[in-house]
Amino acid sequence: MNNNEIDTVSVDLWERAKTIYLSTLRNDEERSQAENYFSMISSISLIDDILTIFVKTRFGAEYLQEKYADKLKLSLDLAGAKKETILEFKFDPRSNTQIIQPVTPKATVETLQVQQPAASVKPQVPFISTLPLEENYTFEEFVQGSSNSWAFAAAKGVANNPGQKSYNPLFIHGGTGLGKTHLMQAIGNELKKKNPSMSICYLTAETFLNEYVNALQQKGMESFRDKYRSIDVLLVDDIQFLQKGKQCQEEFFNTFNDLTWKHKQIVMTSDVSPKNLPALEERLISRFIGGMVQEIEAPGYETRLAILKKKAENLIPSIPQSTLEFLADNIKSHVRAMEGALAKVHVTISINPTQELTQEFLSIILKDFIEKEQTLKKLTIREIQECICKKYGVSIGQILSSDRTASLVTPRQLAMYISRKYTTKSLQEIAAEFDKKHATILHGVKTIEKRLDVEGELKGILAEVLGEFGYNIADKME
């Protein structure tokens, strides 16, 4: 077997195992995190029953080996690998990656330049990134619709004029899987294409927090600050995770001020708007809303169908129009769910091209994807509480406490409202779950009802929470 054949076999085996593994994960957040790390893979090799996955960074290889190797081995077995196949992740020093360390000692650079022949030396692109930019996350691949048109226009504005005051910072918020990360990385990819010398950094707020903690422990704060204050564009995903660290917020605040003073571009995403991040310092929230804030909403039917057509246009075998319409009609919560369902349909017809894709058959194979249209009564109060806590960055204990702090009253009352209006639980059952009196629950529900009539922001949060479960505001039990 030649090298090309080995590569084809190994890649095919890996893709099957990866698809199986991703289908076993519990939620979109876990799938998104796994896919993010899988995107750092540079090449795959299968030699003597050892499947070696080469990764672009040493950190990525170590992390994948520790967190995913054992679980992926089970998926490899299901994908048809030999039982004796060994899976290992290794750093690929030959990878032509643009992910570089924040500080490279001058002596090291000079040594490398001397060792390499002049003809083979390539100009180093000063693109700095903690996580890689997905090549497919471009503006051309993003499907516009009424639910995301304003956010799309703002992102294009940043890509055309980075650092412009009216777009700086750009804060994009919305529910899970609606395209926030796609738009953010599209900005990075567009700027990288237009100006290769521009230094761009993409990372999650959690990564920023972890790097900050490591820098403190290893006395590397000077290098940490140099890295993030010497870039042209800072792209921060899931900024809500910054709420976990008070000291880190201080560092981010100073970095934010330093970059904006230099007219450098900052783009952030979050599940909720800046005003609904109660654990963030007020001065940070003030900075965030000082630029442009744009929301992405759940896509309507036409946009969902357009997204599915875009995702399916290069698939072989092709997906029938009627099947795409079925998916658009039944999967409404977010794009990742649609992508997952489309992938499952494609795998099915790839295995059995003669299979007739009737609605009955699709309902069976996509039962884990299709929205819970008639199952509102199965929605538990604990699920509602946990979702609200995630949106507002608070704990279950705080929701159930008697603390009347303003930042806790709204999430607590909103959880009460959803429990009362979107489940069949009795008032007594709801009161017991919140450890409150009946009158307190009723007061909370009435308060939210009044606020929803005049507060568009709160109504948007309600829609986002319901969207997490596949429901709409119109689905109320009453």
Say which CATH class 3-91 falls into: alpha beta
pTM for this prediction: 0.58
Partners of 51 in beta bridges: 46, 87
| CA–CA distance, 401 with 348 (Å, rounded to integer) | 49
CB proximity list for 261: less than 8 A, separation 6 or greater: none
CB proximity list for 40: less than 8 A, separation 6 or greater: 55, 56, 57, 60, 64, 131, 132
What are 128's two structure tokens?
Answer: 């700095």
Tell me what pLDDT residue 95 has.
Answer: 60
Cα dihedral 267, 271, 273, 279 sign: negative
Tell me what pLDDT residue 120 has.
Answer: 45
Tell me what pLDDT residue 69 has.
Answer: 86
What are 105's two structure tokens?
Answer: 């000692």
DSSP 370-418: S--TT-GGG--HHHHHHHHHHHHT--HHHHHS----HHHHHHHHHHHHH
Tell me what pLDDT residue 85 has.
Answer: 87
Tell me what pLDDT residue 477 has.
Answer: 57
| CA–CA distance, 300 with 337 (Å, rounded to integer) | 14
Partners of 86 in beta bridges: 50
Tell me what pLDDT residue 3 has.
Answer: 39
Fold that domain 301-365 belongs to in CATH: Helicase, Ruva Protein; domain 3 (1.10.8)
> How far separated are the first and last CA of the chain, in Å rounded?
66
Tell me what pLDDT residue 175 has.
Answer: 78
Tell me what pLDDT residue 320 has.
Answer: 92
Give Cα separations from 373 to 74, 127, 196, 329, 330 (angstroms): 34, 46, 48, 12, 9
CATH 1.20.58.410 matches 376-475 = no
Segments making up each domain of the chain, as ranges: 3-91, 149-296, 301-365, 376-475
Using DSSP, state whether 269 is helix, strand or coil.
Answer: strand
CATH number of 149-296: 3.40.50.300
pLDDT tens-digit profile, the chain (478 residues): 333 344 567 787 888 888 878 877 766 667 777 887 888 888 888 888 888 999 887 777 888 888 888 888 888 887 778 888 889 999 888 764 443 333 333 333 333 344 444 444 444 445 677 788 888 899 999 998 888 889 999 999 999 999 988 889 999 998 777 899 999 999 999 999 998 889 999 999 988 988 898 888 888 899 899 889 999 999 999 998 888 788 899 999 999 999 999 999 999 999 888 887 878 899 999 999 999 999 888 788 888 899 999 989 888 889 999 999 999 888 876 787 788 889 889 988 888 888 889 999 998 888 877 754 444 446 789 989 999 998 898 999 999 998 888 889 999 999 999 998 887 677 778 888 999 988 899 899 989 988 988 888 898 889 888 887 767 776 665 5
What are 411's two structure tokens?
Answer: 């999430």
